[in-house]
Structure 1
């Protein structure tokens, strides 16, 4: 499946831009650090809309800022 498109998460970059930790994002959203870490490290197989909305609200961003489609071999 190396030639397939994939969905990548930009939480690392978004948190760095805001000087925010995963722990602080967890406190703001009520989403566990473990679940945020799974998402941040691109290990999530699915994401609830409510999770995305909570992250977007806490980071003042859009879903497109959090998730993007990546070409094969790109990050």
Structure 2
């Protein structure tokens, strides 16, 4: 539920008003209204994805091989 409260606090006012109006049209009580808010957030959250470029694009994100690097400097 803490996640849901954080979601509500961070919601844009226009989105809040839109969902509030929709709940009033449907005649929902506060519990149903909050469930709908959380469900809406989870639906949108699943659409957000981490770009592939974040993984493997930079050398500091790859696993570090100490032995390989030690030998590289030793052979120079």
Q: TM-score, normalised by structure 1?
A: 0.27
Structure whose residues are more often strand by fraction: 1
Structure whose residues are more often helix by fraction: 2
Greater RCO, CA 8 A, separation 6+: 1
